[in-house]
């Protein structure tokens, strides 16, 4: 059986697993697989079962991440890890994360069917809690694996039920005491490469009329989930010169950040600004009152650590200017951050060469989203990603990845692994 035939033969397996994780997370109109909850854990069990059918060795680490290892009888180099996540946002889509884990399973199945034996171990990782919605902190599984949890993270409460991250990890078979030691569960120097397949989160591949892209970099981010703007409550008839309007200060801050975004992109420095929360106090706001209190959130993204630091400096200057002009206090509050994830040049070239051998159009593009790959790249692990065409973005019920496009990505991944084994 040729390698191409072996990949094609995995289509029923891929579809069965996609349908399986969808059923486990069904939450009309979308999919909800709660991190460290029944849906995510059931998806881990489904993937583990698929691994056992391929004679892969399963293990669970202290962060409750699942590893499925295909051992090489003549391992000559450090292992290659293929990973992603199985949790979702609330009523999101089925493919964000899950497609990447399933791609790893399918690639190993295809290599086995084609009789290709790798010269290093290949491992599939199902990483826990990639989505920040559950603890206000994203990429938790890979943070656990690589000792990149920020101070106090294990005490964060879960968005559903309030169980701490530490208790959530225990409930899924992990060991937070080991995580508190602050040393990696896997030495990054002992990992040969980390590869991730992920649906695209902007319609760049729809625009390019291509099924798959080779990722150049993932953005890092700085996040402030609860920015508090404090002004003064007042009557709606109060003249402008007397007002300290928290709501208009929030609008000013948002529009100033958008102007920054447009200027940076015009200068060839890609970035992104997202305002997710944006509201007055629902318990007190009124048609006939000037708002003295306003809450908003900010996700600030950039592809280079120095650029991201510069953007954070610009944020501070904008906040100071708006606060002074509007006569309000702006408190940025809690901060979290994820490092940018530049992909390894050799892996970029290798994945591009694999696509070329297969005759698959695969432009090189930046990813709009941060992924577990960021943590591996930041830890010094050679990292690569493939992005799969997906018309309607992610984090919504309308994710529109087609299975043939995922199979194209699996073909590129498998061809890369086969040549890596040569």
**Same domain (yes/no): 290, 360:** no
Residue 18 and residue 421 in contact, taking contact as beta carbons nearer than 8 Å: no
**Same domain (yes/no): 329, 364:** no
Pairing outcome for strands 341-342 and 80-85: unpaired
Asked whether residue 96 is marked as a ligand-binding residue, the answer is: yes
**Same domain (yes/no): 211, 276:** no
Asked whether residue 198 is marked as a ligand-binding residue, the answer is: yes
Pairing outcome for strands 217-218 and 364-365: unpaired
Average pLDDT over residues 362-388: 96
Which residues lie below 8 Å from residue 410, measured CB to CB, with a gap of 6+? 7, 10, 14, 103, 106, 107, 110, 197
**Same domain (yes/no): 69, 94:** yes
Q: Is the dihedral of CA 43, 49, 54, 59 positive or negative?
A: positive
pTM of the model: 0.90
Overall domain count for the chain:
2
**Same domain (yes/no): 39, 180:** yes
Closest CA to 80 of 245, 191, 206: 191
Q: In terms of C-beta density within 10 A (0-12 exposed, 13-18 middle, 19 or more buried), how is residue 58 classed?
A: middle
**Same domain (yes/no): 234, 207:** no
Determine the pLDDT at residue 187.
97
* The pLDDT of residue 422 is above 80: no
**Same domain (yes/no): 50, 103:** yes
**Same domain (yes/no): 175, 269:** no
Where residue 121 sits, what CATH number does that domain have?
A: 3.40.630.10
* The pLDDT of residue 209 is above 70: yes
Asked whether residue 85 is marked as a ligand-binding residue, the answer is: yes
Determine the pLDDT at residue 421.
67
Determine the pLDDT at residue 274.
96
196-206 as b/e, with b when 16 or more CB fall inside 10 Å? bbbbbbbebbe
- Determine the angle formed by the axes of helices 38-53 and 11-25, rounding to 10 degrees: 160
Average pLDDT over residues 271-284: 95
Write down which residue in 298, 316, 338 finishes a domain. 338
Write down which residue in 290, 315, 338 finishes a domain. 338
Average pLDDT over residues 1-20: 97
185-205 confidence digits (pLDDT tens): 999 999 999 999 999 998 999
Structural domain of 326? 220-338
Residue 360 and residue 212 in contact, taking contact as beta carbons nearer than 8 Å: yes
133-181 confidence digits (pLDDT tens): 999 899 999 999 999 999 999 999 999 999 999 999 999 999 999 999 9
Which residues lie below 8 Å from residue 115, measured CB to CB, with a gap of 6+? 1
- Determine the angle formed by the axes of helices 98-113 and 38-53, rounding to 10 degrees: 10
Q: Is 359 left (phi over 0), alpha (psi -120 to 50) or beta?
A: left
Residue 421 and residue 119 in contact, taking contact as beta carbons nearer than 8 Å: yes
Where residue 265 sits, what CATH number does that domain have?
A: 3.30.70.360
* The pLDDT of residue 252 is above 80: yes
Average pLDDT over residues 94-123: 96
Using CA atoms, how far apart are residues 105 and 117, in angstroms rounded to an integer? 15
**Same domain (yes/no): 264, 352:** no
**Same domain (yes/no): 285, 384:** no
Asked whether residue 131 is marked as a ligand-binding residue, the answer is: yes
**Same domain (yes/no): 226, 214:** no
Residue 234 phi/psi, 5-degree rounding, is -160, 165
* The pLDDT of residue 233 is above 90: yes
Write down which residue in 280, 314, 338 finishes a domain. 338
**Same domain (yes/no): 38, 177:** yes
354-368 confidence digits (pLDDT tens): 999 999 999 999 999
292-337 confidence digits (pLDDT tens): 999 999 999 999 999 999 999 999 999 999 999 999 999 999 998 8
Q: In terms of C-beta density within 10 A (0-12 exposed, 13-18 middle, 19 or more buried), how is residue 270 classed?
A: middle
């Amino acid at each position: 059986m040729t390698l191409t035939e072996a990949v094609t033969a995995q289509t029923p397996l891929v579809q069965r697993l996609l349908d399986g994780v969808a059923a486990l997370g069904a939450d009309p109109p979308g999919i909800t697989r709660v991190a460290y909850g029944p849906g995510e854990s059931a998806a881990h069990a489904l993937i583990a079962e698929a691994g056992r059918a391929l004679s892969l060795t399963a293990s669970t680490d202290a962060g409750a991440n699942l590893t499925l290892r295909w051992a090489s009888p003549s391992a000559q180099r450090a292992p290659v890890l293929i990973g992603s996540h199985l949790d979702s946002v609330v009523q999101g889509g089925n493919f964000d994360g899950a497609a990447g884990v399933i791609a790893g399973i399918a690639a190993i199945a295809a290599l086995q069917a084609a009789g290709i034996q790798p010269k290093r171990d290949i491992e599939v990782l199902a990483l826990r809690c990639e989505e920040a919605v559950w603890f206000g902190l994203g990429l938790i599984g890979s943070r656990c694996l690589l000792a990149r949890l920020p101070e106090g993270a294990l005490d964060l409460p879960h968005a559903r039920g309030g169980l701490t991250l530490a208790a959530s990890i225990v409930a899924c078979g992990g060991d937070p005491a080991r995580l508190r030691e602050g040393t990696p569960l896997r030495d990054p120097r002992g990992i040969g490469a980390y590869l991730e397949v992920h649906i695209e989160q902007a319609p760049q591949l729809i625009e390019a009329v291509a099924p798959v892209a080779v990722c150049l970099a993932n953005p890092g981010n700085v996040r402030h989930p609860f920015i508090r703007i404090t002004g003064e409550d007042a009557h709606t008839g109060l003249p402008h010169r007397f007002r300290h309007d928290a709501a208009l200060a929030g609008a000013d801050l948002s529009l100033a950040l958008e102007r920054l975004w447009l200027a940076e992109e015009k200068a060839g420095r890609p970035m992104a600004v997202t305002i997710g929360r944006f509201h007055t106090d629902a318990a007190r706001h009124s048609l006939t009152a000037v708002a003295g209190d306003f809450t908003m959130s900010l996700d600030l993204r950039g592809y280079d650590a120095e650029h991201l630091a510069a953007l954070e400096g610009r944020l501070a200057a904008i906040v100071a200017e708006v606060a002074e002009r509007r006569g309000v206090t702006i408190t940025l509050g809690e901060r979290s951050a994820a490092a940018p994830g530049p992909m390894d040049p050799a892996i970029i070239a290798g994945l591009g060469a694999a696509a070329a051998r297969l005759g698959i159009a695969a432009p090189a593009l930046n990813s709009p989203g941060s992924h577990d790959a960021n943590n591996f790249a930041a830890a010094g692990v050679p990292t690569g990603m493939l992005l799969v065409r997906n018309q309607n973005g992610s984090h919504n019920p309308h994710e529109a990845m087609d299975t043939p496009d995922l199979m194209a990505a699996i073909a590129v991944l498998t061809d890369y692994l086969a040549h890596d084994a040569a």
